[in-house]
Amino acid sequence: MNTAVKVLSLSVVAAVAMMGCGKKEEAPKPAAAPAAPAAPAVTVVKLGHVGPLTGGIAHLGKDNENGARLAVEEANAAGIKIGGAPIKFELVAEDDQADPKVGNTVAQKLVDAKVVGVVGHLNSGTTIPASAIYNQAGIPMISGSATNPALTEQGFKAVFRVVGRDDQQGPAVANYLISAAKPKVAAVIDDATAYGEGLANEVEKTLKAAGVKVLPREKGTDKTADWKAVLTKVKGKKPDVIFYGGMDATGGPLLKQARELKIGAVFAFGDGACTDKMAELAGAAADGMVCSQAGIPVQAAGKKFLDAYKAKFNIDPILYSPFTYDAAMLMIEAMKKADSTDPAKYLPALASIDFNGASGNIQFDDKGDRKDAEMTIFAMKDGKVAPFAIIKGGKSLTLDEYAALGAPAAAPAAEAKPADAPAAAPAQK
């Protein structure tokens, strides 16, 4: 029994050993391929825009915002890298309601949101106080429409504008009135804002220097709807020309009521009322009005911008959107040149920039003003404000003459549909 068990056990051991010897070795698994390097994370860079998006001039605020938004979207589509990282720009838009107090509040809100630059504000009255907040935070600000000289006379190194100043615009429209209407008596009215009063002051100074009698200043507000008391007072002095410093929301009713009172003077306005909205607000009374703009007419902006704006928003730009588009593009270009989105690092590149934008070549002087800014004179014709003279370097040019200078990738003059210069002031009735 013991011998049988031993034999059986040896047989089992031998069988197991043979099975072990016959087992195939598994092939080693191939080493895993090295992981591809992770793509650089996208860096989100915030740019602010501020303008009135509610209230009587919301159409102008939205036009400005559209310009900045188009620039941001085009930059994102271009796949820009800064500091080796892909960049996605984000436009943070705020509504200042054309109110300085609200403007300061949203300015601080943008600072707290860590935007690296701000396009805006629209009105001088909101831009000037807000500029101190941005400058204190070291955040560059470029306005595409604030024209009061005080903005860049503060000595702030982070504050710029891409339009001309009222001490350029005021003399331009006043000198046109002097040469075309040859007035002996002029009335000047303003809306008591930093913009309206400031521009009216420049017009008045130029008229007086030319020997025109200027009546005592009349005022309203940026919300005045009934101008008849002011106009009745002015009518009795029989002015040949009347200039209003203010926006279209109040300028339209002013002009309509003046014609209802049979005031036959030539009416002139600054850029804030140099829009087709005047025909909507004043009706037929707007025909023949004269107005100025502290820059080239929107029709003469670069064709690429005009086509892109129309394709994106399904409307034509109104007034200063080519300039807010350029303002945003200037900041982005300065970041590319500095290879940094840090405001302290790209600010020097911005101050020394030489850039060809939708509104032409842009360079800044040591105050932050645009060098050699153009001025344009318009007339209302068939419900549209149309340019008939561009003033550059002290010379008055037709649109054809301006286009011949090779100025800003301009649309052909034929497309700009220039107006004829309006006739001299009609006889008083």
DSSP secondary structure string for all residues of 347-367: HHHHHT--EEETTEEE-B-TT
The Cα–Cα gap between 217 and 1 comes to: 137
Distance CA 134, CA 152 (A): 13
Beta-bridged to residue 242, according to DSSP, are 187, 267
Mean pLDDT, consecutive 10-residue stretches, the chain (429 aa), reads 40 41 50 60 95 95 98 97 95 97 98 98 97 98 96 97 95 94 97 96 97 97 96 97 97 97 97 94 95 92 96 95 98 98 98 96 97 94 91 83 67 43 45
- The burial class, CB within 10 Å (0-12 / 13-18 / 19+), for 147 is buried
Q: Which two tokens stand for residue 239?
A: 């002015």
Query: What is the 8-class DSSP label of residue 133?
Result: H
Question: ∠ CA(350), CA(138), CA(327), 5° rounding?
Answer: 35
- Taking alpha carbons only, the member of 76, 74, 68 closest to residue 92 is 68
Residue 117's pLDDT is: 98
The pair of structure tokens assigned to 139 is: 């955040």
Same domain as 239, residue 190: yes
Count: domains in the chain: 2
- Does residue 150 lie within any of the structural domains? yes
Encoding tokens for residue 236?
A: 């009795």
Q: What secondary structure letter does DSSP report for 28?
A: P
Beta strands in 204-331 (DSSP E): 213-214, 218-219, 241-245, 266-269, 290-293
User: Do residue 319 and residue 220 come from a single domain?
Assistant: no
Alpha-carbon distance of 120 to 122, in angstroms, equals: 5
Contact in structure between 269 and 251 (CB atoms under 8 Å): yes
> At a CB cut-off of 8 Å and minimum separation 6, what does 37 contact?
none
Indicate which CATH number applies to the domain containing 307: 3.40.50.2300
User: Is 281 found in the same domain as 137?
Assistant: no
Convert 384-405 to b/e letters by CB count within 10 Å (16 or more is b). Answer: ebbbbbbbbeeebbebeebbee
Does 159 share its domain with 172?
Answer: no
One domain, residues 263 and 178: yes
Whether 397 and 258 map to the same domain: the answer is yes
**Do 305 and 332 sit in the same domain of this protein?**
yes
* Among 336, 362, 388, residue at a domain's last position: 362
Is residue 188 within 8 Å of residue 243, measured between CB atoms? yes
CB 135 within 8 A of CB 157: yes
Q: How far apart are CA 291 and CA 301, in angstroms?
A: 18
Q: ∠240-243-246 over CA atoms, to 5°?
A: 160
- Enter the DSSP assignment of 45: E
The reported pLDDT for the residue numbered 235 is 97
Residue 409 DSSP symbol: G
Residues 58, 138 within the same domain? yes
Structure tokens at 13: 């051991």
Judge if 217 and 72 occupy the same domain: no
415, HSE (Cβ side, Cα atoms, 13 Å): 13
Tokens of 152: 């860049």
Q: Are 191 and 306 found together in one domain?
A: no
* Domain hosting residue 340, numbered range: 43-163+300-362
Q: Rounded to 5 degrees, what angle do the CA atoms 268, 272, 278 make?
A: 65
Residues 337, 358: one domain? yes
Q: What is the dihedral of CA 120, 121, 124, 125, to 10 degrees?
A: -160
CB-based burial of residue 258 (10 Å sphere; 0-12 exposed, 13-18 middle, 19+ buried)?
buried
The single residue listed with the structure tokens 């001490």 is 167
Count CB atoms within 10 A of the CB of residue 423: 11
Residue at 386 is within a domain: yes
Q: How far is CA 113 from the centre of its chain?
A: 21
Helices (H) and strands (E) counted in the chain, each on its own, are 14, 17
Residue 35 lies in a domain: no
